[in-house]
Amino acid sequence: MCDGRKRAQASGGGIECGCYTALKPARIRIPFGGKNRVRFLEEYKLGHETLDTQHQLLFGLIAELQSEIDTALGRAASTDVLQRLFMYAVVHFATEDELMMMSDYPDTLAHRAEHEAVLANVKRLEAECQAGVPSAREETLRFMKAWASGHVPGVDRGLVEHLAKRGRGAAR
């Protein structure tokens, strides 16, 4: 199971992880500022080192998408971020899936179904971005911000609490 840290440190804070080396290195930028900016908040820390690190990387990719939209870097740049976001989400969801299976998590099917819905939605939005649908980038950003800020402190917290009960990770 990869927590993204080894490759991130080796690549100077990049988005790569050892289990998915095709991810393009990029600096993790979690901008602070306006009230609508993407940030990895203290409440998103769950007390599970691997998941917390991966969540920070996911929020970093969402923040990168927001920065590209804000600075009008264009459809190609946003498509690149969406591809990396999708690839890293696959890695992250596989990590969570492994933890759920190893610990007999009772909500595995519902949790997995939510992940599959997210991946399908991101893929659809990525295709819309590539096709030049004007609102696709902004819709993707809104969707990912809403999903991540609700899923991590809610659904994933339940998983981490279950893991702590099973002796597979510490919850705060």
pLDDT the model gives residue 39: 77
Q: What stretches of the chain show up as alpha helix (H) in DSSP?
A: 5-10, 49-70, 75-102, 108-130, 136-151, 157-165
The residue ranking higher by pLDDT, 116 or 85, is: 116
Phi, psi of 20 (to 5 degrees): -145, 80
pLDDT at 25 over 60: no
The full set of domain ranges for the chain reads 5-26+41-165
| Residue pair 119/36 in contact by the 8 Å Cβ criterion | no
Instruction: Please state the rounded mean pLDDT for residues 50-58.
Output: 94
Give the pLDDT score at 172: 44
Which one has a higher pLDDT value, 52 or 17?
52
3-state secondary structure (DSSP) of residue 17: strand
The 10s digit of each residue's pLDDT in 62-112 is 998 888 887 766 565 677 888 888 899 999 999 999 999 999 999 999 999
pLDDT averaged over every residue in the chain: 77
Q: Write down the CATH number for the domain with range 5-26+41-165.
A: 1.20.120.50
* The two structure tokens encoding residue 113: 């179904």
Residue 28 phi, psi (nearest 5): -80, 115
Q: Do 25 and 74 meet the contact criterion of CB atoms below 8 Å apart? A: no
Radius of gyration for the chain, computed over Cα atoms and rounded to the nearest angstrom? 16
Amino acid at residue number 99:
L
Q: What per-residue confidence (pLDDT) applies to 73?
A: 61
**pLDDT-derived band at 36, boundaries 50, 70, 90:** low
- CA-CA distance, 134 to 170, in Å (whole number)? 44
pTM of the model as a whole: 0.74
Whole-number Å distance between alpha carbons of 7 and 140: 27
As a whole number of angstroms, the longest Cα–Cα distance in the chain is: 48
